Amino acid sequence: MSADPQQPAAEWIPATAAALGRELGAAVDGGQFPGGVLVVGQTGAGRAVVGRGLVAPECGGARPDEHTRYDLASLTKVLATWPLVGAAVRAGLLDLDAPLRAAFPGLPSPGGELTTGQLLSHTSGLLPQTGLARYQHTGRPLAEHLCAEPLVSAPGAHHRYVDRGFILLGLLLPELLGRPLPLLAGELWRGLGLDATAYGPLPRDAHLAPTEQRLRGAPRTWGIPHDPSAALLGGVAGHAGVFSSAADLASFAEHLLGADGPLPEWFALSRRPRAAVEPGLHRGLAWIVTADGAVAYHHGFTGTSLYLAPRTGRFVVLCSNAVYHGWDRTRLAGLRGLALRSLLPGN
């Protein structure tokens, strides 16, 4: 299925929602995960919401809808860190192509020589294994530890998706902007009307989807980040830790796809290719972008995705707790592939 830009939204939205809903329902009926919710929309032309399955067995008969909150995992990168970096760039506090040391003189090498653009585009050469536990109780700031680590490749040479760059930005932004990360992000989200979006911990209830039971007999991860590094950082990090709803993600998509303003301008700049990911895909600033520039998207490990088509104003939101039964990354492959194709121009 591919998008026909000439197809009226009144036809495209329900047809796409139905096709994606069937794929989501098949995964849920097949026992891949408890349930999930999709939002398919076009700016100025409405949305369709499709929910399938249950929030989770722990939540009784509660069905997922656009207001159910999910652990976003790496969608934190584009919902919190990326827009805050954009605000800092607009304010002249950060230069995408200047060494971090220009804004943070105390950072050690080699990390202090990296640029914000390299961190956002996953071309920094930072270590791919997160493993922050070894830095506990050292008395040294974590940002200094991360910058002192050896690089695995020359900065700017290779695309390698790692959490470290966004962890580092999440540590540095509060120092630059003068307030803790949850306050900075919260002010951003409230300004956009994203009232269900927040860092945890959140109270357990039937409107919040639990994720994984890591050890048999242990409590299920619920209201705290599934990501172990975000949990180690107290639930607040630049790469993971945010919870939100499909409705809020759809509103965020509509803001990014708007006609003008600082956020759409930052999104446009961020879609410029900076590194090849694989044939047909490039990495911009945080976002993956198709080679023709038709779609920009990002995933979260827990089972979340956000797809945007700037030329048509169309978008697809996916929220699920696909890690409920473990880390099988193929559970959403078919659905995610279909979502991407639904926004590509017709061949």
* pLDDT on residue 5: 62
Over residues 213-251, the pLDDT tens digits come to: 999 999 999 999 999 999 999 999 999 999 999 999 999
Q: How far apart are CA 4 and CA 78, in angstroms?
A: 27
Cβ-Cβ contacts under 8 Å for 304 (sequence gap 6 or more): 70, 71, 72, 73, 75, 249, 318, 319, 320
Which amino acid, 224?
Answer: I
Mean pLDDT of 69-95: 98
Q: How many CB atoms lie within 10 A of CB 6?
A: 9
* Kind plus residue range of the DSSP H or E element containing 46: strand 46-53
| Coil vs helix vs strand at 289 | strand
Alpha helices per DSSP H over 30-123? 76, 82-90, 100-103, 116-120
pLDDT band at 119 (very low <50, low <70, confident <90, very high): very high
As a whole-number percent, the residues of the chain with pLDDT over 90 amount to 95
Mean pLDDT of 170-195: 98
Q: What six digits make up the tokens of 161?
A: 């998706």
Over residues 244-286, the pLDDT tens digits come to: 999 999 999 999 999 889 999 999 999 999 999 999 999 999 9
Q: How many CB atoms lie within 10 A of CB 320?
A: 31
* 61 has pLDDT over 80: yes
Over residues 42-59, the pLDDT tens digits come to: 999 999 999 999 999 999
* pLDDT on residue 347: 35
Q: Indicate the pTM of the whole model.
A: 0.97
Over residues 285-328, the pLDDT tens digits come to: 999 999 999 999 999 999 999 999 999 999 999 999 999 999 98
CA proximity to 298, closest of 239, 227, 245: 239
* 179 has pLDDT over 90: yes
* 1 has pLDDT over 60: no
CB 40 within 8 A of CB 184: no
CA proximity to 317, closest of 309, 327, 307: 307
Mean pLDDT of 71-89: 98
Whole-number Cα distances in Å, 44 to 181, 191, 253, 256: 32, 20, 12, 13
* 165 has pLDDT over 50: yes
* pLDDT on residue 294: 97
Cβ-Cβ contacts under 8 Å for 131 (sequence gap 6 or more): none
Q: Which residue, chain included where needed, has tokens 């994984």? A: 212
Q: In sequence order, what E strands does 170-328 have?
A: 198-199, 242-245, 275-278, 281-283, 288-290, 296-300, 304-309, 314-320
Compute, in degrees rounded to 10, the torsion defined by CA atoms 186, 189, 195, 199: -40
Over residues 2-44, the pLDDT tens digits come to: 566 668 999 999 999 999 999 999 999 999 999 999 999 999 9
